[in-house]
Each structure stands twice: as structure tokens, then as C-alpha cells.
Amino acid sequence: MYMHIGNDIAVAACDIIAILRVEDLMDKREPLLRYGIPEEEYIHASREEPIKTYIVTTTAVYTSPVTVQTLMSRLDEFNGIISMQSIV
């Protein structure tokens, strides 16, 4: 299952490692540089809207204008679908 993160970008839910709120990160200029991920390698879901969330996956870091709460509810919905399929 894929999770829509903004504009026309969707990421595989099973590849998501972390969903981070921008305002919780200390260094706003290069927030993930300490993990060895320079900002020029981020994939931006939107350049027009402010970044609210970083989505770290097994292959990339995405920026998103969608809030953590919305993304988490999408993941919860995905997990609910998976749980229902295992019952049937």
C-alpha cells in the first residue's frame, strides 16, 4: 500500500522508517545532516507550501506539507486494512 504525502507523491508504507515533525528538529537549515543526509538529496512533495514533515524511508527522505497527524492517520488506516485482511 502506498501513502500519499502531498501533490502527486506517494511512498510505500512498508518502506517508512520515520515521520518527523519539522518543528521538533533542532537545526532547521540542515535537519537531517547529522544522519548523513544532505538537504539537496531530499525529495520535495511541494515547493510552494511550507514543509511540515520529513518522511524517512529506506531509499530517500521526503519533505511534505502534510502534518504528522494526518500522515499517521493514513498509516493507521493502512494498518487497519491489513488487520482486516488477515481476519478474512
Are the beta carbons of 54 and 61 closer than 8 angstroms? yes
Under a CB-based contact definition with an 8 Å cutoff, are residues 64 and 51 in contact? yes
Q: C-alpha cell of 29?
A: 537549515
Per-residue pLDDT tens digits for 24-68: 876 656 667 666 777 777 888 888 899 899 999 988 889 999 999
**Given the DSSP bridges, would you call strands 43-44 and 53-57 parallel, antiparallel or unpaired?**
unpaired
Residue 22 banded pLDDT, cuts 50, 70, 90 = confident
Which candidate, 42, 53, 46, 67, places its Cα nearest to that of 18?
A: 53
pLDDT at 75: 87
Q: pTM of the entire structure?
A: 0.77
Give the dihedral sign, CA 59/63/69/73.
negative
**Better pLDDT: 69 or 38:** 69
